Amino acid sequence: MQKKIDEFLKDVKTVAIAGHVNPDGDCVGSCMGMYLYLKDNFPQIQTEVYLEAPRRAFYVIRDLDKAKQDCVEYPCDLLILLDISSHDRIGVASCLLKSAKRVLCLDHHKTNRDSYTWLFNYPEISSTCEVVWNFLDSDKIGEKCAEALYMGMVHDTGVFQYASTSPRTMRIAASLMEKGIPFSRLIDETYYQKTFVQNQLLGRALVESFLMFDGKLIVSCIRKRDMDFYHATPADMDGIVSQMRNTSGVEVSVFMYELSEGTWKVSLRSVDQVDVSTVAQFFGGGGHARAAGVTMQGSCYDVINNLTQHLEKDLRQ
Ligand code: 5GP
Ligand code: MN
């Protein structure tokens, strides 16, 4: 039997909702969807949402300006963690993990093996927004909540393209459309549109990319000094690795940018054969079979060497 969020809210007076650092569309969508649903249907509960530095484009989601960027520890009755993949990625709201009376984690990352009061993890489901929708009462979803959930589904399915998109995903998306949401605008403004800086960085990453293993692997990196030149933030790097993956013949794309001298945020994408989550997990990261990430140390060549040693077997077949 599908559990509903109501079951976790009995005797609850304070709720905190948190996602992961550098929140992507699914993270912003699921956190805001849950937040707006609780605000609409449980006004007696004091609900806060924590999202660290969301991209400007995500502010089409209403009330995102109410999301808190910093956090003071307090004993909330229920902490709801969404799309986090691993407890070490919670960011600002991680202080709440110690003091929260109960923790409910909803996720869809196969690498999430943490323990919470309740963990509902569905790796076969395309987005955390879809997982969240299952916990809500469809009739009680308002337009604002529907916009947030729809946006997250769009992002984690690559606009309903990836193999994780199921007939049920489409049915849920349809029911959200029926709430009267501006779906074209949500897709265009949050998924396809890029800022000038984002496009410049994308261009740079593509120009400097190179192929390995007979064109099955494409790699590129952007150094800190180049990011500083463009005044770029980590959020500006979203989507570069997916564009690299669109190169014909490529099975795996690897894009990395330097967080600080010698520390690299690495993103991996796979077309349909290689499970990149196992490689990411080996180096302390995680994610999904077709999209994973990890933070690694060294020069960019050290990072590439370490990764390719693990990818070689899969890509030589
Ligand atoms: P991205 O490459 O877009 O940062 O992340 C791809 C997927 O891998 C996302 O689902 C994200 O949550 C997950 N991911 C990215 N970096 C990490 C990491 O350092 N640790 C874990 N556990 N998951 C990650
Ligand atoms: Mn997700």
Residues 131 and 265 in one domain: no
* Atom 17, ligand 1: residue with shortest CA distance: 293
Residues 93 and 59 in one domain: yes
Residues 140 and 116 in one domain: yes
Looking from the CA of residue 267, the nearest atom of ligand 1 is 2
* Atom 22, ligand 1: residue with shortest CA distance: 286
Q: Given its phi and psi angles, is residue 5 left (phi above 0), alpha (psi -120 to 50 degrees) or beta?
A: alpha
d(CA 254, CA 142): 39
**Residue 63, pLDDT score:** 98
Residues 23 and 137 in one domain: yes
Residues 253 and 160 in one domain: no
Residues 160 and 204 in one domain: no
CA of 107 to the centre of ligand 2 (A): 7
Based on C-alpha coordinates, what's the Rg of the chain? Answer: 19
Taking only the tens place, the pLDDT of each residue in 226-256 is 999 999 999 999 999 999 999 999 999 999 9
Both structure tokens of 317: 């077949």
Facing residues of 266 across strands?
Answer: 256, 294
CA of 188 to the centre of ligand 2 (A): 19
Instruction: Ligand 1: list residues with CB < 6 Å.
Output: 20, 24, 85-86, 89, 109, 111, 267, 285-288, 291-295
Residues 89 and 31 in one domain: yes
* Atom 20, ligand 1: residue with shortest CA distance: 285
CA of 127 to the centre of ligand 2 (A): 5
Question: Which one of 52, 55, 87, 109 would you pick to mutate in the ligand 1 pocket, going by the greatest count of ligand atoms within 8 A of its CB?
Answer: 109
Which stretches does DSSP call E strand in the chain?
14-18, 46-50, 78-82, 102-107, 118-121, 210-212, 217-222, 252-260, 263-270, 286-287, 291-297
CATH code, domain carrying 311: 3.10.310.30
Residues 23 and 156 in one domain: yes
CA of 34 to the centre of ligand 1 (A): 21
CA of 217 to the centre of ligand 2 (A): 24
Q: How confident is the model at residue 316 (pLDDT cuts 50, 70, 90)?
A: confident
Q: Which domain holds residue 222?
A: 196-316
CA of 308 to the centre of ligand 1 (A): 18
169, 192, 215 - which closes a domain: 192
140, 168, 192 - which closes a domain: 192
Helix 128-135 × helix 143-156 angle, to 10°: 140
Residues 127 and 211 in one domain: no
* Atom 16, ligand 1: residue with shortest CA distance: 293
Residues 176 and 279 in one domain: no
Q: What percentage of the chain carries pLDDT values higher than 70?
A: 100
Is residue 43 classed as helix, strand or coil in its secondary structure? coil
d(CA 150, CA 143): 10
192, 221, 249 - which closes a domain: 192
CATH code, domain carrying 24: 3.90.1640.10
Residues 150 and 261 in one domain: no
Q: Is the pLDDT of residue 317 over 90?
A: no
Taking only the tens place, the pLDDT of each residue in 189-200 is 999 999 999 999
Looking from the CA of residue 285, the nearest atom of ligand 1 is 20
Residues 204 and 177 in one domain: no
Taking only the tens place, the pLDDT of each residue in 32-67 is 999 999 999 999 999 999 999 999 999 999 999 999
Mean pLDDT in residue range 127-155:
98
- State how many domains the chain has: 2
